[in-house]
Structure 1
Amino acid sequence: MAVSRNGVLHAECEVGVSGRATYQGKGIGLVDEKGRVAIPNALRHTLAKNAPRPDGKDGGTVIIAPHPEFRCLIAYDPAYETEVLADVAEREKEALERSGKRDWSIAARASATEALPFDGSGRFVMPAFERRYARIEGAAFFHANFHTIMIWSPKVLLETEGFDPFLKEACEWACEEKGIVL
């Protein structure tokens, strides 16, 4: 079952049950005017393992969705959709118990996804609306939270109150290393 903690979806399962590798790491990706960006190496290999191409070639499928709480995107492999559905059902049940009516926006937001192919170098095209929504221009900061990958505009991440200071500083450092001025 997936649960939401601080707006991040987490799968709760026994060790070894899911068969999916966990996402760990962080990095920055440059985004061109067409939305092409490469998933950082630290995350790309796990994503390729969790979502291989059916033809056996390098690359795979990444699903991009709006984050349930923050102005950023989340990315995950197709197998994680089961966890997303369980989380949505739980959040809808909680909303119904609180208000006595269904909150249609929970499922609507969670299902506003794009399944996108990525190549062996981790390159994919981030859709224009998703870039606009997350305010991603020129660079995207990727960081893992074991089950999904969050994708941020560096500026938005740094402006987001209450977000982890370590990740904010990691984002600043990654931008400095690439010569990105914030």
Structure 2
Amino acid sequence: MSEAILYTGNAFSVADGKGRFVLPLEMRRQVKLSSSGETTLYLSVHGGNPCATGFGESHMRFLFNEVEELDREARAAGRDYNKDLELERRLGTIEPVNFDEGGRFAMHPDIKDEYHITDAVFFYGVGRYIQIWKPETLVDSPDRPELIRNKVRRWLDQRAAGGGK
């Protein structure tokens, strides 16, 4: 796949009785498109935000190709570049999980533990990947857009009042 898959939109998911979350329909379609129809969501850590990331196979290939390009540029400029370490950083934390036709998937336990995810997540499409936030963490992140923080805050307030799942 040469064309980038771009994820947009946002949605909440509350874990079901088996602890599974539901990948939103449009994001699910994009992941499958990115992965030749496969129902694998690749989860990883975010390099700069306290959230997980999710994406399809094409983004994983993009990450690899980007490291290859950075390595070529460094060699051409005579700069040191640790290609292996960068590959470890970008690809070594990726955990594949399968989702069913309804979008249900079990969050990888290492990812859940890293971000203290328990029973709810907020999916946030931001281009080449999806950010997956513990809602309370997103609200407490001042660098996030106020519109999104307010949306998540309202959802948390409704949930606390018994109006949300």
The answer to which structure has the higher helix fraction is: 2
Query: Which letter maps to 1:165?
Result: E
Displacement after TM superposition at 1:43 (Å): 1.9
- Residue of structure 2 equivalent to 1:11: none
Q: Secondary structure at the match of 2:42?
A: strand
- Residue of structure 2 equivalent to 1:124: 105
Runs of 5+ unmatched residues, structure 1: 1-15, 54-59
Displacement after TM superposition at 1:173 (Å): 3.3
Larger Rg: 1 or 2?
2
Larger deviation: 38-47 or 61-70? Answer: 38-47
**Are residues 1:108 and 2:88 paired?**
yes
CA distance in 2, matches of 1:166, 1:123: 27
**Are residues 1:84 and 2:68 paired?**
no
Alignment CA distance shift 1:136-1:146 (3 Å): same
- Residue of structure 2 equivalent to 1:37: 21
CA distance in 1, matches of 2:17, 2:50: 20
Q: Secondary structure at the match of 1:121?
A: coil
Identity fraction in percent = 20
Alignment CA distance shift 1:94-1:44 (3 Å): same
Pick from 49, 53, 56 the counterpart of residue 33 of structure 2.
49
Q: Secondary structure at the match of 1:115?
A: strand
CA deviation profile, 1:49-76 (whole Å, cap 9, x unmatched): 33313xxxxxx11100000111111100
- Residue of structure 1 equivalent to 2:49: 70
CA deviation profile, 1:95-136 (whole Å, cap 9, x unmatched): 999x95638654323221111111111111101110111121
Asked whether the 8 Å contact 1:92–1:106 carries over to 2, the reply is no
- TM-score scaled to structure 1, two decimals? 0.71
Larger deviation: 150-159 or 106-115? Answer: 106-115
CA deviation profile, 1:121-173 (whole Å, cap 9, x unmatched): 11111011101111211100001012110000011111123222122122223
